[in-house]
Each structure stands twice: as structure tokens, then as C-alpha cells.
Amino acid sequence: MIFCNTIGILPRPVRTFLETLPECIAEERQRMLAVVELSRLNAVHRTGGPFGAAVFESATGRLIAAGVNLVVESRCSHAHAEMVALAAAEQRFETFDLGKHHTTLELVTSTEPCAMCFGAIIWSGIRRIVTGATGSDAEEAGFDEGPKPADWKACLEHRGISVMTEHCRTEAREVLMSYRDTGGIIYNPQRTM
């Protein structure tokens, strides 16, 4: 498992949790719950925003790379969980095109992608995305998800990327709302923190 990438090193509580996971997580629900736990740990330990993501081999559930939101800690606006996980997977396979890997890879993310991560998913070569909380849930917590196509799922599917949404939405949404309710930093551009 890669704990370090060009964006930064994953926080210790996140790394510790990742070390407890099996090499393969066969059940889709368990993959999502692991990603939701990444987001929860990041929020509870105040090491970043309430977002987690991981790249898995679709068929086997082998964990390739994981990421959490590192925006505030890294002082880097594009250090979203999806971006961190995709960057780590690209480094692991030494490629900028994850679609060229010998197996089909999927991105499991605790919340639907924002406008930036939506674009990154397209360019990454990922063939499947599974999301938890909705963009509306993130906006309700105070985050700005940016402008993305209204039918973003159809846009991805048109490009050959399958999409599953609202998987374990209740658990993922709970992390967002808890982060908001406990005074977590909502880091939108042009908003004072």
C-alpha cells in the first residue's frame, strides 16, 4: 500500500487503519465501508476534510491505493480524496493511464465527485466509480461541489466508465454532517475559514 504520493503523506490514523485491512476486500459494501471509515478517521482526528477514496481491482477487491482529503493540511486546493487516491495508484503502477493496467480498476469514494474530481476520473483511465453520499449531501454540509453536468453519471457512462451511486449513503452522509456539526473547517474558495 502506498502511503505517500506527490500530494503528501496520509495521516497516521488513516495509515494505521489501512494496515489493518485485508489485502483484498471482496464485498462491495465492505469496500465502501472501509472508505467511509477513512473519511471518518480523517474528520475525527482533524487531519483533513470528511472525504475518503480508494482504488481497487474490481474483480478481486485488491486495494491498490487510498486517499483522504488533505486540502487544509497540505495547503493544496486539489488535494481531494479522489485526487490523492488516483495519484497514489498512478505512482504505484508508474503510469498516468490507469486504464492500461491489466485489470479493471475502480474508484470507491465516500461522496460523489466534485467538478474537479469528475474531470480527474475521466482522465485517470478508471473504468468504474462507486460513490456513497451525494453531492447534495456535501453541499448541505457546507461544501461547494462546483459546476458539473447535471447528468454527470451519463457523461461518465458515455465514456465507458460505469457508475454506482448512493452505496452506503446513510453511513457516508453521517460523516459529512458530523464534521459540519462539530465545527470542521469548510474550505470553499473565497470563504473565510
20 touches 38 (CB < 8 A): no
More confident residue, 146 or 163: 163
Q: Which residues pair with 133 in a beta bridge?
A: 111
More confident residue, 73 or 52: 52
Q: How confident is the model at residue 8 (pLDDT cuts 50, 70, 90)?
A: low
Q: What Rg, from alpha-carbon coordinates, does the chain have?
A: 15
Name the E strands within the chain.
52-57, 63-68, 105-111, 128-133, 162-164
Cell, residue 60:
478481486
pLDDT > 70? residue 85:
yes
Q: Which of 75-79, 84-88, 116-120 has the lowest mean pLDDT?
A: 75-79
> Long-range contacts made by residues 69-73, C-beta under 8 angstroms, separation at least 24?
69/39, 69/42, 70/7, 70/8, 70/10, 71/187, 72/48, 72/185, 72/187, 73/8, 73/11, 73/47, 73/48
pLDDT at 168: 97
For a pLDDT cut of 70, what percent of the chain falls above it? 92
Nearest one of 57, 65, 62, 80 to 7, comparing CA atoms: 80
Q: What is the pLDDT of residues 153-188, one digit of tens each?
A: 999 999 999 999 999 999 999 999 999 999 988 877
pLDDT at 193: 45
Q: Which of 5-19, 21-35, 40-54, 129-143 has the lowest mean pLDDT?
A: 5-19
pLDDT > 50? residue 78:
yes
Cell, residue 44:
475525527
**Average confidence (pLDDT) over 66-77:** 87
Number of residues that make up the chain: 193
